Amino acid sequence: MKFSGILVVQLVLIALCAFVVGEWAANFPYPSPLIKPILSPKLRWPTEQVMGWIEAQNIDPAFKKFFYRDPERQVPRGSSLVAAADGLVQVADYHDGVTFLVIGLSFWDVHVVRTPIAGRVESIDTAGVYYPRFPTREERDVAFFLHDKAAPVQQIVTLGTSIGQVKVRLLTSYWASRIKIWAHPGQILNKGQRLGRILLGSTVVVEFPGRVELAVKKGQRVLAGETVVVGSATKP
C-alpha cells in the first residue's frame, strides 16, 4: 500500500507509452497524429496518402481544411502580369502565335486561381470528361476503363484584356475532376482577383496572345496574384 501512489504514476507512464506506440503503429507508414503538428504540410500528408484519399473519395478533414485555405495576396500595381496559380512553372514557351505558361500545382499549394491581368470574362468553356461524384455502376465501369488514360477535365476562362484574349485553363485529374469557377461571363475582373478553384492535383495553363517576354523560367516557384510573370504588358 506504501507504493500505491508510485504504482499509479508508473501505470500512467506505461499507458502513455502504449498510446504513443499504438498511434505510431496504427498510422505507419504515414506519420502519427502526435508528430503531425510539427511536420511541414508535405511531410504531414504524404503524396501516397493523399492519392489514396482521392481514389477512395474520402479525404481527411484536416487535410481538407488545409487544402481549402485562401490567403490574401499583395497584387503588384502597374501593367505587369501576375501568375494565375501557385506552383512550379512547367512550361514557359511560345507556339503558333500563343505564349504558354503552364503552372503545375501540388497537393500542398493553394488551389485558388487568380486572373493574370484585368479583363472581362468573355466565355467559360468546359472540356474533357467529368467523373460524377456518386457514379452508377455503368459510370464506374467507364471510369475504371479510363483509369490511367488521358482524360483531362478542364475549364477554360477566356478574358478580354488590354493585350487581347488571354485564356486561363484550369485542368484537374480525371479522379479529382472538380473545378469551381466563381467568375461568370460578362464580369469585369481586376488583376489578381479570384477566378476559381481547382480541387486536388492540377495544372493551370495561361495562354497569352502573341510572343510575350516571360519573366519566369521552367522550374521556378510562383504565387498566384503576386509573382510577376510578365514585366510589362503590351498589345502584340
Partner 1 sequence: MMRWFWTEGRFSWPLVGSILFLSSAMVLTDLAWRTLVMPVESLIASVAGVGVVALLIFIGVLATRRKRSS
Q: Catalytic residue positions?
A: 202
Query: Least distance from C-beta 116 to partner 1, angstroms?
Result: 35
Query: Least distance from C-beta 47 to partner 1, angstroms?
Result: 13
Q: Longest C-alpha distance within the chain, in Å?
A: 90
Question: How far, in Å, CA of 7 to CA of 222, rounded?
Answer: 57
Query: Least distance from C-beta 26 to partner 1, angstroms?
Result: 13
| Cis peptide bond prior to 29, omega within 30° of 0 | yes
Choice between 17 and 188, CB closer to partner 1: 17
Question: How far, in Å, CA of 22 to CA of 123, rounded?
Answer: 54
Question: How far, in Å, CA of 199 to CA of 177, rounded?
Answer: 7
Question: How far, in Å, CA of 177 to CA of 111, rounded?
Answer: 14
Choice between 40 and 74, CB closer to partner 1: 40
Binding site for partner 1 (CB under 8 A): 1-4, 6-7, 10, 13-14, 17, 20-21, 24, 31-32, 34-35, 38-39, 43
Choice between 21 and 188, CB closer to partner 1: 21
